[in-house]
Amino acid sequence: MITDFLIQFRSETALTVLILLLLLLKITREVKNETLLQWMQLLLCGVLLLIASGPFEGHLFGSMFIATPLITLEKLILATGFLLICMLHHEWLKAHEHLIEFLILSLSSLLGMFLFISSGHLILLYLSVELITIPIAAMVNFDLEKRRSSEAAMKMILSSAFASGVLLFGLSLIYGTTGTLQLNELPAALQAQPLQIAAFLLVISAFAFKLSVVPFHLWTADVYEGAPVAVAAFLSVLSKGAVTFMLITLLYKVFYPLEAVGYPLLQILSILTVLIGNLFALRQKNLKRFLAFSSIAQMGFILASLSSYTVAGAAASVYFIIIYLFSNLTAFGIVQIVNTQNGKEHLESYRGFYKNNKFLSWALALSLFSLAGIPPTAGFFGKYFLLIAAAAREQYVFVILLALNLMISLYYYLNIIRLVFTKSPEEMETVRISQPAKLALWIGIAGTLLLGFAGNLLEHIQSIMN
């Protein structure tokens, strides 16, 4: 029992220890932010190694907690993302007076994500959702002197509370109609009664809220606008990644008796999300908001792939999340680096950016190409497999609509690249890049370029999914 606990619960234990250490540090002594960050990055690497130390299968606490190779991989992805955020936003974090609090909160949220994707019981699922969300709401407030930041945090916590209420309502309906909250017992108990369908829709809507799926996305705009860039990146990549992973488990392992409902539901939601997300992104004049909105549309493509209810669709989604993580974090990181230095995040201020910032421009262009899905970047392969999966049911109108939306997204991504590379009388001065950020950018670039050719990665995901 105790060895099982130590092995399967190792990443969660490590994070908890880390959080406790930071708490102790906070009340005992002053540490320079620089040193703290260095230690933090080092320790996170250790956590990564710990997670990667092996895929172990099993369950703990009476099947409340599940460990599979797929979940291990997903945890690895999330932890990598968190490490990249810490490195890319090094400058901003270093300058922040409440760094320890920020780290405690973000690590708690990460711990929530770990528990969330490992949960085998709906109560643990609910609790971990709260563990993810509440620290984020606090983190959104971390631009302490800005009122918008506080407003965003307020909206975040209130609307999340609402979504949690809906989720709980759904869970109670499930318990009412089936008599169990154990995920592995649920499929046998579901018969697609109207009440169960309603419960399913309520649960899915809470997930849709987290993923900013239309029409549950309205909180996103205000929160992203107020939040610090690092938090926006955390929200739009890590939190969405974790929710997507759990959504795959729910759709494919738990609620699959309701496939007849899930299939059209996901199609409708995905088309709405892709379209509205694109329309929002089109209007943005602020690069941070733009990235946040374009991520809404990206989620729509993931839903489209999931709607196929095939292993290929699920595998393509996980694969896409990995690629998306590298591309989007790189883009967010560049926005942060520029913003910390000169406070600029307006699209127009990037005009002529190339002149003095060759490396950053190329990195930005590459990540945007990948997000737009242009070969040979990995984003192309990611989108390609998503669309292939979405086409599995031969609903070609649906696929054509998705492809048309890809074209719209092409417009706004390329528009930014155009701005960056056009000449302008007011060029931005050269932006300094800290060493960790530079390293992280290189990692992001490598991921963006090489992952597309890692065809066996997709096969690997597919094989551990079965």
Partner 1 sequence: MPQASILLIPLLPLIGFLVPALGGKTIFKKQTGWFATFLLAVSTALACSTAWNYFFSYGKENGIYQKHFPFHTTWLQLTDTLSIDMGILLDPISALMIVVVCIVSLMVHLYSLGYMKHEERYAMYFAYLGLFTFSMLGLVLSSNLFQIYMFWELVGVSSYLLIGFYFERPKAVAAAKKAFIVTRFADLGFLIGILALSYQAESLDFVTLLERLTQPNSTYLTQATTSSFLGISSITWGCLLLFMGGAGKSALFPLHIWLPDAMEGPTPVSALIHAATMVVAGVFLIARMFPLYALGAPEVLDIVAYTGAFTALFAALIACTQTDIKRVLAYSTMSQIGFMIFALGVSGYGGTAGLGYSASLFHLFTHALFKAMLFLGAGSIIHFVHSNELKDMGGLRKSLPVTHLTFLIGCLALSGIPPFSGFFSKEGILLAAYQQKPFFYGIGLFTSLLTAFYMFRLYFSVFWNKPQQNTDRIAGDGGLTITLPLLILAAGTCVSGFIPFGQLVSSDGIPFSSSLHLGFAVLPVLLAIAGISLAFLFYQKDNLRAAYWSEKLKGFYKTTYHKFYIDECYMYVTQKIFFNLIGKSAAWIDRNIVDGLLSKTGSGTQVLAEKIKSFQSGKLQSYTTWYLIGIIVLIGLFTFFIH
Helix axes 69-88, 435-450, angle to 10 degrees: 140
- Is 346 near partner 1 (CB under 8 A)? no
- Is 221 near partner 1 (CB under 8 A)? yes
- Is 31 near partner 1 (CB under 8 A)? no
Closest to partner 1 by CB, 171 or 445? 171
Cis preceding linkage at 257, omega within 30: no
Fill in the per-residue mask, 255 to 284: x = in contact with partner 1 (CB under 8 A), - = not in contact: -----xx--xx----------x-xxx-xx-
- Is 385 near partner 1 (CB under 8 A)? no
Strands 65-67 and 58-60: antiparallel
Three-class DSSP category at 16:
helix
Q: What is the DSSP letter of 182?
A: B
- Is 411 near partner 1 (CB under 8 A)? yes
- Is 414 near partner 1 (CB under 8 A)? no
Part in contact with partner 1 (CB under 8 A); list of ranges 72-80, 202-210, 344-352, 452-460 = 202-210
- In the region spanning residues 121 to 180, those forming contacts with partner 1, defined by CB under 8 A, are 155, 158-159, 162-163, 166
Residue 316 CB, nearest approach to partner 1 (Å): 25
Q: Within its chain, how far is the Cα of 326 from the centroid?
A: 11
- Is 223 near partner 1 (CB under 8 A)? no
- Is 338 near partner 1 (CB under 8 A)? no
Residues with Cβ within 8 Å of residue 161, at least 6 apart in sequence: none
C-alpha distances in Å from residue 61, one per residue of 2, 90, 117, 257, 441:
11, 38, 15, 26, 40
With contacts defined by CB under 8 A, how many residues of the chain interact with partner 1?
A: 32
φ/ψ of 211, rounded to 5, equals: -85, 0
- Is 400 near partner 1 (CB under 8 A)? no
C-alpha distances in Å from residue 330, one per residue of 78, 197, 442:
15, 40, 9
Closest to partner 1 by CB, 256 or 362? 256
Please tell me the distance from the alpha carbon of residue 133 to that of residue 154, in angstroms, as a whole number: 12
Please tell me the distance from the alpha carbon of residue 341 to that of residue 357, in angstroms, as a whole number: 13
Which of 3, 29, 97, 194 touches partner 1 by CB under 8 A? Answer: 194
Please tell me the distance from the alpha carbon of residue 59 to that of residue 276, in angstroms, as a whole number: 40
Which of 45, 192, 400, 450 touches partner 1 by CB under 8 A? Answer: 192
Note whether 164 and 132 are within 8 A (CB): no
C-alpha distances in Å from residue 341, one per residue of 89, 213, 433, 439:
12, 33, 9, 18
How much helix, strand and coil, in percent to the nearest 5, is found in the chain?
A: 80, 0, 15
Cβ atoms within 10 Å, residue 294: 25
- Is 215 near partner 1 (CB under 8 A)? yes
Which of 82, 114, 219, 324 touches partner 1 by CB under 8 A? Answer: 219
- Is 197 near partner 1 (CB under 8 A)? yes
- Is 408 near partner 1 (CB under 8 A)? yes
Using CA of residue 350, residue 354, residue 356, residue 358, what is the dihedral sign? positive
C-alpha distances in Å from residue 252, one per residue of 115, 136, 156, 237, 390:
19, 28, 29, 22, 15
- Is 216 near partner 1 (CB under 8 A)? yes
Which of 8, 11, 106, 205 touches partner 1 by CB under 8 A? Answer: 205
- Is 209 near partner 1 (CB under 8 A)? yes
H-type helices in 308-434, by residue range?
311-342, 358-372, 378-390, 396-421
Closest to partner 1 by CB, 111 or 303? 303
- In the region spanning residues 281 to 300, those forming contacts with partner 1, defined by CB under 8 A, are 282-283
Part in contact with partner 1 (CB under 8 A); list of ranges 76-84, 196-204, 230-238, 246-254 = 196-204
Residue 240 CB, nearest approach to partner 1 (Å): 18
Which of 202, 306, 363, 390 touches partner 1 by CB under 8 A? Answer: 202
Fill in the per-residue mask, 424 to 463: x = in contact with partner 1 (CB under 8 A), - = not in contact: ----------------------------------------
Residue 197 CB, nearest approach to partner 1 (Å): 5
- Is 23 near partner 1 (CB under 8 A)? no
Residue environment code for 217-238, b if the CB has 16+ CB neighbours within 10 A, otherwise e: bebbbbbbbbbbbbbbbbbbbb
Binding site for partner 1 (CB under 8 A): 155, 158-159, 162-163, 166, 192, 194, 197-198, 201-202, 205, 209, 215-216, 218-219, 221-222, 260-261, 264-265, 276, 278-280, 282-283, 408, 411
